[in-house]
């Protein structure tokens, strides 16, 4: 079947939209390798801005902080979100509709509203702002995403497999370890990837809940790009963070597409 003119036009339009999505990202990458500082003129390939980054202690500390928060957030929210998903899909209890709505709220409430409420809560409860307050906020947000992804997987697979296992003489614990857990693994891995990216490049919640002396990579981009300050060092830093986030998002997307 060959495409009609109208279909070709639609394909062309789609190509234009994809270009719109990706050209700005490609430009950042290109100019992060630019030798000169002037924007818009590529004078030659150079790695010197990456060398500047490698020698910048502030960047290394921020990188460590981002990674530290993202890894702990992923582990804790994975544990709590999976518990919630398992409980909601498999346990026979009342009030599920209400609990489900509660678990969805963090996804629906705009981030800035959540961020400032956390700040007020920390101030009221006497927390010192810094690593812990950033971490606790990231986890609260990520639990819901883990819940949604893992629940979809748990609800999606054939329950008769578990019943068969029980009928054949395996007990509940064996069935959980040998059937339920392995079958929900793709969902758990996908949820881990999402939890990591959401935390690793988060800006707004981090900005509201951090204190003096605790900086993550997005906060560096924010403070240096304020009032229009674009530059090759910042392009290099953005390229690094985006490369990490986009690679993980790509693996996640691949995983979720495969199950269809």
Partner 1 sequence: MSWMESLIDFVRKYKLLVALLVLGPPLIYLAVYFFAPFIITILYSFGFIGRRGVITWELTIKYYQQALRWVYLKVFYNSVILAAITTVGSILMAYPVAYFIAVKAPKKWKNLLVVSVMVPYWVDFLLRTYALMNIFTMMKMMFTYEAVVIGMIYDYLPFMVLPLYANLEKLDKSLLEASYTLGASPFKTFLKVTLPLSKPGIASGTILVFVPAIGEFVVPSMLGGVSVTTIGTLTWDLFLKFHNWWRGAALSILYIAVVLITLIIYMRKVGELEI
**Rounded CA separation 118/135 (Å):** 11
Q: Which stretch binds partner 1 (CB under 8 A): 49-57, 144-152, 155-163, 180-188?
A: 144-152
* Site residues (CB under 8 A) for partner 1, limited to 101-130: 102-103, 105-114, 116-121, 123-126
HSE of 164, CA atoms in CB hemisphere, 13 A: 7
Tell me how far apart the terminal alpha carbons of the chain are, to the nearest angstrom: 25
State which of residues 37, 156, 253, 259 lies at the interface with partner 1 (CB under 8 A).
253
Report the nearest approach of partner 1 to the CB of residue 96 (Å). Answer: 10
State which of residues 99, 129, 166, 183 lies at the interface with partner 1 (CB under 8 A).
99
DSSP-assigned letters across all residues of 111-179: HHHHHHHHHHHHHHHTPPPSHHHHHHHHHHHHHHHHHHHHHHHHHHS-THHHHHHHHTT--HHHHIIII
Q: How many chain residues touch partner 1 (CB under 8 A)? A: 98
148: contact with partner 1 by CB under 8 A: yes
Report the nearest approach of partner 1 to the CB of residue 102 (Å). Answer: 7
Count how many residues are written for the chain. Answer: 260
Q: What beta strand segments (E) does the chain contain?
A: none
Cβ nearer to partner 1, comparing 157 with 222? 222
State which of residues 56, 129, 211, 245 lies at the interface with partner 1 (CB under 8 A).
245
- What angle (nearest 5°) sits at the alpha carbon of residue 214, between those of residues 128 and 191? 95
155: contact with partner 1 by CB under 8 A: no
**Rounded CA separation 135/112 (Å):** 16
* Site residues (CB under 8 A) for partner 1, limited to 78-97: 80-81, 83-84, 86-88, 91-93
Cβ nearer to partner 1, comparing 51 with 247? 247
């Amino acid at each position: 079947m060959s495409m009609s003119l109208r279909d070709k036009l639609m394909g062309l339009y789609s190509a234009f939209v994809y270009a719109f999505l990706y050209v700005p990202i490609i430009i950042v990458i290109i100019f992060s390798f630019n030798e000169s500082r002037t924007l818009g003129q590529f004078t030659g390939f150079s790695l010197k801005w990456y060398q500047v980054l490698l020698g910048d202690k502030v960047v290394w500390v921020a990188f460590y902080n981002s990674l530290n928060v993202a890894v702990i957030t992923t582990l804790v929210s994975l544990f709590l979100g999976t518990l919630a998903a398992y409980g909601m899909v498999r346990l026979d209890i009342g009030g599920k509709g209400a609990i489900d709505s509660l678990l969805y709220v963090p996804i629906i409430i705009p981030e800035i509203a959540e961020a400032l409420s956390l700040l007020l809560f920390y101030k009221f409860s006497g927390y010192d702002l810094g690593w812990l307050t950033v971490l606790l906020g990231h986890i609260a947000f990520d639990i819901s995403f883990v819940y949604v992804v893992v629940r979809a997987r748990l609800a999606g697979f054939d329950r008769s497999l578990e019943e068969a296992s029980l009928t054949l003489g395996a007990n509940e614990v064996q069935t959980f370890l040998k059937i339920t857990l392995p079958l929900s693994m793709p969902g758990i891995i996908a949820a881990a990837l999402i939890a990591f990216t959401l935390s690793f490049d988060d800006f707004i919640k981090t900005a509201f809940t951090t204190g003096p002396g605790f900086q993550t990579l997005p906060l560096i981009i924010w403070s240096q790009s304020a009032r229009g300050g674009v530059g090759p060092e910042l392009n290099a830093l953005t390229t690094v963070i985006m490369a990490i986030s986009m690679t993980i998002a790509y693996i996640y997307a691949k995983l979720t597409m495969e199950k269809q």
